[in-house]
Amino acid sequence: MTNEKFHNYDVFHAFLVENADFDGSLEFPVIKTSDALPNRVVTFSKAMSKNWNDYDCWVVFYEHDRAFERLWHNPKQYLAKLKKFRGVISPDFSLYRNMPLVMQMWNTYRGRALAVWLQNNGIEIIPNVRFGDERTFSFCFDAVEKNKTVAVGTHGCIKRKEDRLFFEVGLARMVQQLSPGTIVVYGSAPERIFKPYRDMGIEIIAFESAFSKSRKQVTA
């Protein structure tokens, strides 16, 4: 069903997924994973600041959603600057375990849709994979290519025992589902969690979080 009256008002941002392929029961747009690997990373909020001019790095979204919600609302405003960087790890909208599941699905879709649009505009993309509890396993790995590179964020996810257990289960399921050749980790990548995957031959590339770096600078 369509309504011609609202034809020119793209409130769903359908332009993001024009000509996309779709995957899974929820029809997420498929990300084509870059063969390039990140050398350094910078958060979106820092990358978009007026005084940032170091483009020899990848942009990541491992920060509070409010720092990059503006990209969803007006992606065209940030395209020119994002294209200057080496690449982008796809947006990491939150999947809190106490969020209604439909919101977790929507946030997963938004990250995929923005990534596909950026990719179609010439930007190298590595898919971020965000999982919650086991309910998310039915969709959170959809639209991500197998046997390629994936990215995960550990900041705020492995400090508390309960959170760490959920992360470990999700990470194991991700490896089982996607068989990645490389996992890019933003945040701590402790041996007790990632050694089994290194032993499997998966390359683990870890980048210290901006929060951890700032704490070191304060205590130095």
Q: Look at residue 9 and tell me if it is in a domain.
A: no
pLDDT at 219: 46
Closest CA to 60 of 211, 219, 218: 211
Do the domain assignments include residue 183? yes
pLDDT tens sequence across 1-39: 445 554 567 888 999 999 999 999 999 999 999 999 999
Whether residue 7 is contained in a domain is answered as no
Report how far residue 158's alpha carbon sits from residue 62's, in angstroms, rounded to the nearest whole number: 14
Task: Look at residue 58 in the predicted model and tell me its pLDDT.
Answer: 98
Query: Residue holding tokens 């007006």?
Result: 74
Which residue range forms the structural domain that includes residue 34? 22-219
Number of structural domains, the chain?
A: 1
Please report whether residue 161 resides in a domain: yes
Please check whether residue 131 lies inside any domain of the structure. yes
Contact at 8 Å (CB) between 204 and 194? yes
156 domain-assigned: yes
At residue 69, the pLDDT reads 97
Asked whether residue 87 is domain-assigned, the answer is yes
Q: Quick check: is 8 in a domain?
A: no
Q: What is the pTM of this model?
A: 0.91
Question: Please, what is the Cα angle at 121 between 116 and 123, to 5 degrees?
Answer: 75
Q: What is the pLDDT at residue 218?
A: 44
The parts of the chain modelled with pLDDT lower than 70 are 1-8, 210-220
